[in-house]
Amino acid sequence: MVLAGGIPPTGSVEAIKGGENPAKVIYFAPTLALAKKLLRSGADALVIEGMEAGGHIGPVSTSVLAQEMLPELSENHLIFVAGGMGHGNAIAGYLEMSPASVQLGTRFACAAESIAHENFKKAFFRANARDAIASVQVDPRLPVIPVRALKNNGTEEFTRKQIEVTGVLDREEIAMEEAQLQIEQYWAGALRRAVIDGDVENGRLMAGQSVGMLKAEEPVADIMQKLMVQSEEALTRR
Ligand SMILES: Cc1cc2nc3c(=O)[nH]c(=O)nc-3n(C[C@H](O)[C@H](O)[C@H](O)COP(=O)(O)O)c2cc1C
What are the φ/ψ torsions at residue 147 (nearest 5 degrees)?
Answer: -135, 135
**Pairing relationship of beta strands 26-28 and 55-56 according to DSSP bridges:** unpaired
Looking at the structure, tell me whether residues 18 and 74 fall in a common domain.
yes
Give the Å distance between the CA of 41 and the centre of ligand 1: 24
Of all protein residues, whose CA lies closest to atom 6 belonging to ligand 1?
55
- Residue 163 domain-assigned (yes or no): yes
Tell me the best of 46, 57, 87, 106 to mutate to test the pocket of ligand 1, counting ligand atoms within 8 Å of each CB and taking the most. Answer: 106
CATH number for 61? 3.20.20.70
- Res 5: pLDDT: 81
Instruction: Name the average pLDDT for the chain.
Output: 95
124 lines ligand 1 (CB under 6 A): no
pTM of the model: 0.94
Looking at the structure, tell me whether residues 13 and 104 fall in a common domain.
yes
Q: For residue 105, what pLDDT band results from cuts at 50, 70 and 90?
A: very high
Q: For residue 23, what pLDDT band results from cuts at 50, 70 and 90?
A: very high
Q: For residue 98, what pLDDT band results from cuts at 50, 70 and 90?
A: confident
Task: Report d(CA 118, CA 120) in Å as an integer.
Answer: 5
Give the Å distance between the CA of 225 and the centre of ligand 1: 21
Q: What is the mean pLDDT of residues 26-52?
A: 93
Looking at the structure, tell me whether residues 103 and 27 fall in a common domain.
yes
Looking at the structure, tell me whether residues 148 and 191 fall in a common domain.
yes
Nearest atom, ligand 1, residue 84 CA:
26
- Res 51: pLDDT: 98
Looking at the structure, tell me whether residues 224 and 152 fall in a common domain.
no
Q: What is the mean pLDDT of residues 44-67?
A: 96
Give the Å distance between the CA of 102 and the centre of ligand 1: 12
Q: For residue 10, what pLDDT band results from cuts at 50, 70 and 90?
A: confident
Of all protein residues, whose CA lies closest to atom 17 belonging to ligand 1?
105
Q: Give the residue with greater pLDDT, 11 vs 121.
A: 121
Q: What is the mean pLDDT of residues 149-170?
A: 97
Looking at the structure, tell me whether residues 20 and 105 fall in a common domain.
yes
Looking at the structure, tell me whether residues 72 and 143 fall in a common domain.
no
Flag the least confident range among 29-33, 38-42, 129-133, 217-221.
38-42
Task: Report d(CA 93, CA 143) in Å as an integer.
Answer: 35
- Residue 103 domain-assigned (yes or no): yes
74 pLDDT above the threshold of 80: no
53 pLDDT above the threshold of 90: yes
- Res 155: pLDDT: 97
* Residue 211 exposed, middle or buried by CB count within 10 Å (0-12, 13-18, 19+): buried
Looking at the structure, tell me whether residues 189 and 224 fall in a common domain.
no
Closest CA to 183 of 195, 194, 169, 197: 169
Give the Å distance between the CA of 227 and the centre of ligand 1: 18
Looking at the structure, tell me whether residues 22 and 90 fall in a common domain.
yes
Query: Rounded to whole angstroms, what are the CA distances from 63 to 45, 92, 232?
Result: 19, 13, 20
Q: Give the residue with greater pLDDT, 116 vs 18.
A: 116
What range defines the domain where residue 68 resides? 2-110+217-237
Of all protein residues, whose CA lies closest to atom 12 belonging to ligand 1?
55
